[in-house]
Amino acid sequence: MKTCLIVIDVQESFRHRPAFSERDLGPYLAAQNALIAGFAAAGAPIVRVLHSDGPAVAANPFAAESGHVRPLEGLADFEAAASFTKRRHSALVGTGLDVWLTQQGVGRLAISGIRTEQCCETTTRHASDLGWQVDFVTDATLTFDMVQPDGKPLPAADIKARPATVLEGRFARLCSVDEAVARLAA
């Protein structure tokens, strides 16, 4: 089955948000880059998705005018089979990605990127509902600590555990980088 790697929102915009942290960035980039290398070595398509929205002013890190809607420093350079810019959480809303995937005969998606519980999870659920098989490559997703409505901290590791719990077996197959790459040969 033809599999496509989707690299979602791995962009400089996040460095300019208050929640950004370098703490988990190194291991994440190592995993993301290994995933990209594995797909590239197998000749499998890799799609880049960037997020742009909000006021079109330089002070908004997700506006093109900021100059931050570009690949995150440290992300491996790769030849994208296609690139899309999204304005919603799901990479499949209003981008044409769904049409492109269908035209390419893609049956399975490997989802990776930033933020685990937002755009990666939302795209995973949407893709599953549209009929694609989905590999959610947990170690190649990144998120940041948050504060709960009651003021208590919510660590990034706990945030990542939730999508893993609710996606597995319902919307996706959880897999490591090595497993996702191995599935290309299967």
Domain residue extents for the chain: 3-185
CB 81 within 8 A of CB 45: yes
Signed CA dihedral, 11, 13, 19, 23: sign only: positive
Q: What letter does residue 172 receive in the DSSP assignment? A: B
Q: Residue-wise pLDDT tens for the chain (186 aa)?
A: 999 999 999 999 999 999 999 999 999 999 999 999 999 999 999 999 999 999 999 999 999 999 999 999 999 999 999 999 999 999 999 999 999 999 999 999 999 999 999 999 999 999 999 999 999 999 999 999 999 999 999 999 999 999 999 999 999 999 999 999 999 987
Give me the pLDDT at residue 117, please. Answer: 97
- Say if residues 94 and 29 touch (Cβ distance below 8 Å): no
Helix (H) or strand (E) holding 131, with range, is: none
Q: Report the pLDDT value the prediction gives residue 185, as an integer from 0 to 100.
A: 86
pLDDT of residue 96: 98
Q: Which CATH superfamily is domain 3-185 in?
A: Isochorismatase-like (3.40.50.850)
C-alpha to C-alpha distance for 80 and 87, rounded to whole angstroms: 19
Please give the helix or strand (H or E) that residue 84 lies within, else none. strand 82-86
Predicted confidence at residue 186, as pLDDT, reads: 78
State the Cα torsion 115-118-121-127 to the nearest 10°. -110
